[in-house]
Amino acid sequence: MRLLLSEVTYASPTLSAYALVAGYDGKRRCVSIVDDDIAHCEMVSDILEPLGFAVQSFNSGAECILALRNRPADHIHDRSQ
């Protein structure tokens, strides 16, 4: 079997390059995550919270809209169906 793959003409970043990210400067930002699968919400929270983001998770768009009336988010990541 022969795979017809294109040649890599640039170096790929290594995992260690990404490990240097430890947070960000400036105002703390709030991210709202909307997904009907709680595992997806937890995964994104596990990535963002150590970087300093405040994270709100919701299981539906309707739930998110109700909550955002009291606490607006800087960004909304919606993966719900």
pLDDT at site 57: 92
53 in Cβ contact with 28 (< 8 Å): yes
In the three-class reduction of DSSP (H, G, I as helix; E, B as strand; rest coil), residue 47 is classed as: helix
Residue 11 has pLDDT above 80, yes or no: no
pLDDT at site 5: 66
Residue with tokens 């040649």, as numbered in its chain: 7
Q: Say how far residue 33 (Cα) sits from the centre of its chain.
A: 8
**Among the CATH numbers 3.40.50.1970, 3.20.20.140, 3.40.80.10, 3.40.50.2300, which is that of 27-78?**
3.40.50.2300
Of residues 60 and 6, which shows the higher confidence score? Answer: 60
Q: What is the Cα–Cα distance from 22 to 47, expressed in whole angstroms?
A: 11
DSSP lists the bridge partners of residue 77 as 33
Domain parsing of the chain, residue ranges: 27-78
Q: How confident is the model at residue 24 (pLDDT cuts 50, 70, 90)?
A: confident
